[in-house]
Chain A
Amino acid sequence: MKEVMAVIRMDMINQTKEALLQKSFAALNCRKVLGRGKKKVNFTVVDDTNSPKVQETLTEEHRLIPKRLLCIVINDSDVKTVVDTIITVNSKGKPGDGKIFVVPIFDCVRVSNGETGGSAV
């Protein structure tokens, strides 16, 4: 079993959920997080007509940006499909699109009946 943890843009969550659902991965867990990446954020997209004070706060380097953290636990054979789906939907070719981490999970238990292993995922 593997856990796919993906940090993605806030506004991409609905498209990602929809795409995963179409590949029949309905189960997921997501939460709002704040984070920063390796690169400094380019805030030049913001209109120059803003007040200097707003500009100053926006151009602060390595500010924490709101993101969505998506956690999906799946069987080993599905990892490639899920990772590819997330990359296809979220990739705009720009920094800040997100990161995906694949973490091993040693066991999984269904709370309702105590079933364990791959079938409980």
Chain B
Amino acid sequence: MLMIRAIIRPEKVGVVLSDLLESGFPAVTKMDVMGRGRQRGIQYGDVFYDEIPKEMLLMVIKDEDKNDVLDIIMRNARTGEHGAFGDGKIFITPVEEVYTVSSGNNQL
């Protein structure tokens, strides 16, 4: 099992979530985060924004679904044809065990 943490633009969350749902990955956790990336924040006129608001999507999936999920997130979270600075990052980490609280079942 893998945990996917995707940091994406807040305005792209809707399309990503609905495409994930249609593709059979309903289970997602979403949280508001603030951060900066390689671009080191944004200079907009006289104002410098060090931390930019983003949304983090957290989901745990089976190993074989990795490419599908990555494709869905990247296809929908991109700005324009070739993407732009600030479209986000995806981090993938291993998950060793999963439990469902209601039943104590240890299957995903």
In the bound complex, CA of A2 to CA of B28 (Å): 22
B residues near A32, Cβ cutoff 8 Å: 31
Assess whether B43 is interfacial by the CB under 8 Å rule: no
- Is the pair A86, B95 in contact by a Cβ cutoff of 8 Å? no
A99 touching B99 in the complex, CB below 8 Å, given contacts A35-B28, A87-B104: yes
- A53 interface hit (Cβ, 8 Å): no
Q: How large is the interface on A (under 10, 10 to 19, 20 to 34, 35 or more residues)?
A: 35 or more
CB-based A-B contact count at 8 angstroms: 84
* A91 lies within 8 A of B101 (CB): yes
Chain B residues with CB under 8 Å of chain A are 3, 17, 21, 26-31, 58, 60, 93-104
Knowing that A96-B102, A97-B102, A103-B96 are A-B contacts, what are 15 other residue pairs whose CB atoms are under 8 Å apart, sorted by A's residue number? A6-B101, A32-B31, A34-B29, A34-B30, A36-B27, A64-B17, A69-B31, A87-B99, A92-B102, A98-B101, A100-B97, A101-B3, A101-B98, A103-B3, A103-B95
